[in-house]
Amino acid sequence: MKIDLSNKTALITGATGQLGRVMVRTLAECGANIIIHYHNNIEKAKELYSEIEKIGRRAFIVQADITDFNSIIQMKEKITSEFTLPDIIVDNAVIQYRWTTVLEQAAEDYESQFKSCVMQNVYMAKAFVQPMIEKNTGRFIGINTECSMMNFPTQSAYVAAKRGMDGVMRILAKEIGEYNITVNQVAPGWTISDNDRQWGTEYSKEYCEKVPLKRRGTDQEIANVVAFLASDLASFITGAYIPVCGGNVMPTI
């Protein structure tokens, strides 16, 4: 048994980011052709394009602002005319900002998080789900966070937006399930990425001591779950919120 995404096309938003780039490589290694979405980092997008081409997959680079519906529609039109519409959507992009208390957090930060977490998924669904319905198959995957369950101080804008995203995704799963389209969320913990490897910050005693597996997860471990959900091995899983955090949070029944 293996994860086989041959003849599938995957669109990853925020593909040049710390987690996105590993998702790109992993889905390509499983056989998928890749649409590399970026907002600003065209150089990393080009690097990923070259990597994918070298392993024999097709790749396509596209720029868009995932908080702007018109920009997403323009992205769809470009993909339609120059490449192939995706069978797999991975909504990974998110706006970065400085965390602080509710009393000190700027209102604009709540708005930006809502746009990048909630509205990104709404806009991407509006743009790309109808073709999936017509094909009677598809995978729609959103990247959530363990923080949605932790509710720690200074996380309010992020958590509020990711919880809103959770509601949208669960309802979307019920609305389009009859078309053989699954909708799921992967919720990473505090994940080791290229930045940590470069800076030597892979280990945090305070964080790791609280995690049942006593370590931080890796970007590859997140990408592995995304690849699984994108595959036929997960054909009967939908509406799920799946923490990939070593047991740091555990959804209850």
Query: CA 155 to CA 163: how far, in whole Å?
Result: 12
**Annotated active-site residue in 38, 123, 158, 241:** 158
Is residue 158 part of the annotated active site? The answer reads: yes
Query: CA 142 to CA 90: how far, in whole Å?
Result: 6
CA-closest candidate to residue 7, choices 35, 28, 33, 34: 33
Query: CA 122 to CA 236: how far, in whole Å?
Result: 23
Rg (CA), the chain: 17
Query: CA 12 to CA 251: how far, in whole Å?
Result: 26
Query: CA 47 to CA 21: how far, in whole Å?
Result: 10
Tokens found for residue 126: 């509006």
Query: CA 248 to CA 198: how far, in whole Å?
Result: 25
DSSP 8-state assignment for residue 231: S
Query: CA 17 to CA 44: how far, in whole Å?
Result: 9
Q: Find all residues with CB under 8 Å of 96, minimum gap 6, and list them.
A: none
Q: Are 109 and 155 in contact (CB under 8 A)?
A: no
Catalytic residues: 158
